[in-house]
Amino acid sequence: MNTLATLDWLIVGLYFVLIIGIVWWSSRKQDTSADYFLAGRNVGWFAIGASLFASNIGSEHIVGLAGSGANSGMAMAHWELHGWIIIMLGWIFVPFYRRSGIFTMPEFLEKRFSSNTRWILSIISLMAYVLTKVSVTVYAGALVFETLLPDTFGSPENAFWVGALSTVILTGIYTVLGGFRAVVYTEVAQTVLLLLGSFFITFFGLRMLGGWGELQAAVATNREAFALWRPLSDPEFPWLGIVIASPVIGIWYWCTDQYIVQRTLAAKDLKNARRATIWGGFLKVWPVMIFLIPGMIGWALYQKGLLAIPQTETGELNGDQIFPTLVSGLLPVGLRGLVVGGLLSALMSSLSSLFNSCATLFTVDIYEKMRPGRTEAQLVKVGRIATGAVVILGILWIPVMKWVNGGGLYVYLQSVQSYLAPPIASVFVLGLCWKRMNSRGAIAGLTVGIGIGLIKITVQALVGSGAITLPALVAFGNFNYLYFGGVLLVISCVVIVIATLTSEKPRPEQIAGLTFGSLTEEQKKAERESWNWVDVVTTCLVLCFVFGVYLYFSFWV
């Protein structure tokens, strides 16, 4: 297997020089918490849209999606065609967030409901970062080091942990120094490198395979296993489960999660925030082509004996090794360094976004509530310490991940999100649409829903490790995560409705401007003036693009 040559390392080094330059430029203005956490609320739509894409597409997407493409074809494409949900963020959710002048999503819940809901969502969000974003992103990046530099540090296992820890430390340094402005502007550069590197993987893979027709022919031999839509009898990806779980996860992630929404809060104004989501929605369609398809190309090359890919202990194809193997075994010197730079940029952009979001959540929603009156310098310092704690917990969770779901990295990510997303999405959507909903309903929905989700994760991990063999618990632990997400959504909504209707209505001043039914004519007019025909036309084009990709891959073989 090829390893990185001198030219590859030189290209990677040049990438880091570029990042250092951007961080230095960004760090010159960090006078207040608004500068550090939201870049002074003065970022344009192009940079924010690119940041939405780059922060979402981390190393877990590159590595995990390629693995899913090799193991299950187009099944995971549904989560990558969420461009229409990003459009929802800009047109439906962002006007409420910006109108309320918030820093964080928990802060919005406090304005809409009560301070208790703010505490609960802050803790849940930080916990979710440990279980998903930190652990998954670091694990995926470490796999790249393990594959590309197996003997550099004595053994592949050593390479794994050296890669994991070094990238965390380097990313932490530039995020701490540059704040959110560094996060946003480095992600613009990383988006370009990410798209370019992944394009070359697809190009060289298809050339070795013999073209797009050869890929279609290979997939046609295993059509049922690689189809976009699967029958209800499919044990892993039944179409009904996909239709239920995928949009719920998408609304939670794109419309209510601090990690993503924080970018739109940094925009100059509502018009720039909305246009950023339209641009981000367009970019979001491309992962199907540049990450999922390469995994299928790798599988086809493996089937034809043209590429050697590591196997699991059970003798199955190790999907999570597909992308790094394509890089090391397919690309020429120089381009290999470019793609490794893309992988590192994906890892670092996701981690830097995560670090800043963790700092914002803990500082604004927890520490500042406990210790009011702290100076701006103290708030920034506490945010950095909190971020370090979340990262350490995420790294400690990595060994447990394989017990929760054995279907690969990306399946693990979506399964855990299926257990956390429904309660949060329910509270936000019902909170905007239903004036009657109150604090008691929000608290009940969050605590009951997340409690059930955590029980599912715990039982699933214990079943996967072999610690539980009781048939009923094994059945519960193995219950399909897509259907479970739907069940949890129903439970959360029912709990919210019952708790709300059995307690007092919120006061009119409590919900003023925070629900659709409580907007004033002046607020409606201001929102209407924030968009024009350009926004409408580009929105329609993005929606048509998403629909077109859906339609093509529904019948492509």
- Whether the pLDDT of residue 6 is over 70: the answer is yes
Give 202-232 pLDDT, tens digit per residue.
888 899 999 999 999 888 888 887 889 999 9
Residue 173 falls inside a structural domain: yes
Amino acid at 338: L
Tokens 């100076």 belong to 375
Distance CA 322, CA 70 (A): 8
Range scoring the smallest mean pLDDT among 186-195, 282-291, 388-397: 186-195
- What are 43's strand-pairing partners? 267
Tokens at residue 8, please?
């590859």
Residue 170 falls inside a structural domain: yes
Cα 471 to its chain centre, rounded Å, is 34
- Whether the pLDDT of residue 464 is over 50: the answer is yes
Structural domains of the chain, count: 1
Rounded to an integer, the average pLDDT of 255-259 is 88
468 vs 455, more confident: 455
pLDDT of residue 44: 79
Comparing C-alpha atoms, which of 462, 481, 1, 68 is closest to residue 287?
68
77 vs 136, more confident: 77
pLDDT of residue 441: 97
pLDDT grade for 483, boundaries at 50, 70 and 90: very high
Comparing C-alpha atoms, which of 40, 123, 21 is closest to residue 376?
40
Chain mean pLDDT for the chain: 83
Instruction: For residue 226, give the CATH number of its domain.
Output: 1.20.1730.10
Question: How many Cβ atoms are within 10 Å of 158's Cβ, its own excluded?
Answer: 16
* Percent of the chain residues topping a pLDDT of 90: 32
pTM, entire model: 0.84
Give 265-307 pLDDT, tens digit per residue.
888 889 999 999 999 999 998 888 888 888 899 899 988 888 8
Residue 471 falls inside a structural domain: no
Residue 472 falls inside a structural domain: no
- Whether the pLDDT of residue 61 is over 50: the answer is yes
Are the C-beta atoms of residues 111 and 96 closer than 8 Å to each other? no
Which range, 54-58, 121-125, 419-423, has the best average confidence (pLDDT)?
Answer: 419-423
Rounded to an integer, the average pLDDT of 169-182 is 61
Are the C-beta atoms of residues 141 and 167 closer than 8 Å to each other? yes
Range scoring the smallest mean pLDDT among 17-26, 103-112, 257-266: 17-26
Burial string for 209-237 (b: 16+ CB within 10 Å, else e) reads beeeebbeebbeeeeeebbbbbeeebeeb
Distance CA 126, CA 111 (A): 20
Rounded to an integer, the average pLDDT of 324-329 is 80
Rounded to an integer, the average pLDDT of 447-456 is 96
Domain span at residue 181 reads 6-399
pLDDT grade for 37, boundaries at 50, 70 and 90: very low
Mark out the alpha helices in 304-408 (DSSP H runs).
322-330, 335-360, 368-370, 376-404
Residue 205 falls inside a structural domain: yes
Are the C-beta atoms of residues 90 and 274 closer than 8 Å to each other? yes
314 vs 175, more confident: 314
Comparing C-alpha atoms, which of 286, 330, 293 is closest to residue 219?
293
Exposed / middle / buried, residue 350 (Cβ in 10 Å: 0-12, 13-18, 19+) = buried
- Whether the pLDDT of residue 1 is over 50: the answer is no
pLDDT of residue 39: 45
Give 69-127 pLDDT, tens digit per residue.
888 889 889 998 999 999 999 999 999 999 888 888 999 999 999 999 999 998 998 88
Residue 265 falls inside a structural domain: yes
Question: How many Cβ atoms are within 10 Å of 448's Cβ, its own excluded?
Answer: 18
Tokens at residue 332, please?
């020429």
pLDDT of residue 40: 45
- Whether the pLDDT of residue 16 is over 70: the answer is yes
Residue 135 falls inside a structural domain: yes
Which range, 1-5, 283-287, 363-367, has the best average confidence (pLDDT)?
Answer: 283-287
* Percent of the chain residues topping a pLDDT of 70: 85
pLDDT of residue 174: 59
Residue 90 falls inside a structural domain: yes
Give 226-237 pLDDT, tens digit per residue.
889 999 988 889
pLDDT of residue 23: 65
